[in-house]
Amino acid sequence: MVEWTDFERATIKDIFSKLEYDVVGPATLARCLVVYPWTQRYFAKFGNLYTRHCDC
């Protein structure tokens, strides 16, 4: 198990506090579905990601 120092904990908290989750989350999921197409079976409601009419 990893033992984090106080400095490391503070650095990690600082990095994650600056993330814009509303922007990063959907972009990450869309990238995952395009790069790993077999994951689309778990998110069928998004439709075909390779068309302009994608619902993501």
Give me the domain span that covers residue 21.
Answer: 6-46
The span from the CA of 42 to the CA of 1, in Å, is: 32
| Residue 34 domain flag | yes
Q: How many domains does the chain have?
A: 1
| Residue 53 domain flag | no
In the prediction, which pLDDT does 48 show? 66
| Residue 1 domain flag | no
Percent of the residues in the chain that have a pLDDT greater than 70, as a whole number: 80
| Residue 55 domain flag | no
- Asked whether the beta carbons of 48 and 33 are under 8 A apart, the reply is no
Report the mean per-residue pLDDT for the chain. Answer: 83
| Residue 52 domain flag | no
- The more confident residue out of 53 and 19 is 19
| Residue 20 domain flag | yes
pTM beyond 0.75: the answer is: no
Torsion of CA 49, 52, 54, 56, to 10 degrees: 100
